Amino acid sequence: MRPELEAVATPEMLLLCSIARLEMDEASEARLDRALGRGIDWDRLGPLAEFHGLRPLLYRHLGQREDGRVPESARAAMKRDAHAIAAKNLGMARELVDLTNLLSTAGVESVPLKGPVLAEAVYGSHAMREFGDLDIAVRPRDLDRALDALAEVGFRSTTGLGRRADRVVHRASGAVPLRRLGSGPLVEVHWSLMPRYRPGLTLEDVWGRRGSEVLMDRPIASLDPEDRFIALAVHGGKHAWGSLGWLVDVAEAGRPGRLDRRAVSARAVAAQVTRSVELASSLADDVLAAAHGIEWSDTAKDLANDLGKRLVSEVAPPYPPNSAADHRFFLGVRETMAQRAAYLSGLVLAPMPADAAAVRLPDRLAFLYRVVRPARLVTRTVARSTRRHRARAPHGDAMERAA
User: pLDDT band at residue 55, thresholds of 50, 70 and 90?
Assistant: very high
pLDDT band with cut points at 50, 70 and 90 for residue 392: low
Q: Which residues contact 101 (CB under 8 A, 6 or more apart)?
A: none
**Predicted local confidence at residue 398, as pLDDT:** 41
Reported as a pLDDT band with limits 50, 70 and 90, residue 261 is very high
Query: 149 with 158: CB under 8 angstroms?
Result: no
Among 48-52, 334-338, 345-349, the range with the most confident prediction by mean pLDDT is 48-52
Q: Which residues are CB-neighbours of 110 under 8 A, at least 6 positions away?
A: 100, 103, 104, 136, 137, 138, 146, 221
For residue 133, what are the β-bridge partners?
Answer: 186
Tell me the pLDDT band of 400, cut-offs 50, 70 and 90: very low
Report which of 230, 195, 243 is spatially closest to residue 17, judged by C-alpha positions: 243
Percent of the chain with pLDDT over 90: 63
Helices (H) and strands (E) in the chain, counts: 20, 7
Cβ neighbors of 271 (< 8 A, separation 6 or more) are 199, 200, 201, 202, 205, 230
Query: Peptide bond before 177: cis, by omega within 30 degrees of 0?
Result: no
Give the type of residue at 342.
Answer: A
Residue 396's pLDDT band (boundaries 50, 70, 90)? very low
pLDDT of amino acid 399: 35
Distance of alpha carbon 14 from alpha carbon 31, whole angstroms? 7
Measure the N-to-C terminal CA separation of the chain; round to a whole number of Å: 65
- Whether 189 shows a pLDDT value over 70: the answer reads yes
Report how far residue 110's alpha carbon sits from residue 221's, in angstroms, rounded to the nearest whole number: 7
Residue 198 pLDDT greater than 80, yes or no? no
pLDDT in tens, 124-170: 999 999 999 999 999 999 999 999 999 999 999 998 888 888 888 88
In this structure, how many other beta carbons lie within 10 angstroms of the beta carbon of residue 347?
A: 16
**124 secondary structure, DSSP code:** S
Determine the Cα–Cα distance for residues 191 and 139; give it in Å rounded to an integer: 6
pLDDT of residue 206: 92
For the chain, the maximum distance between any two Cα atoms, rounded to a whole number of angstroms, is: 80
- Confidence grade of residue 334 (pLDDT, cut at 50, 70, 90): very high
Which sign, positive or negative, has the C-alpha torsion 45, 49, 54, 56?
positive
Percent of the chain with pLDDT over 70: 96
pLDDT band at 402 (very low <50, low <70, confident <90, very high): very low
Q: How far apart are CA 279 and CA 237, in angstroms?
A: 8
What was the pLDDT predicted at 393?
Answer: 61
What is the C-alpha to C-alpha distance for residues 203 and 184, in angstroms, rounded to an integer? Answer: 27
pLDDT value of residue 397: 46
Per-residue pLDDT at 46:
95
Confidence of residue 385 (pLDDT cuts 50, 70, 90): confident
> Does 401 score more than 50 pLDDT?
no
Q: Rounded to whole angstroms, how far apart are CA atoms 220 and 134?
A: 14
Question: Using CA atoms, how far apart are residues 198 and 167, in angstroms rounded to an integer?
Answer: 17
How large is the average pLDDT for residues 253-269?
A: 92
Average pLDDT over residues 79-99: 96
| Among 152, 156, 151, residue whose Cα is nearest residue 178 | 156
Supply the pLDDT for residue 245: 96
Integer Cα distance of 137 and 193 in angstroms: 7
Return the closest-CA partner of residue 271 out of 336, 212, 189, 337.
Answer: 336
Neighbours of 80 (CB within 10 A): 14
Q: What span, in angstroms and rounded, lies between the C-alpha atoms of 142 and 108?
A: 6
Digit-coded pLDDT (tens) for 67-78: 888 999 999 999
Q: Rounded to 5 degrees, what are φ and ψ at 346?
A: -65, -40
Distance CA 231, CA 111 (A): 13
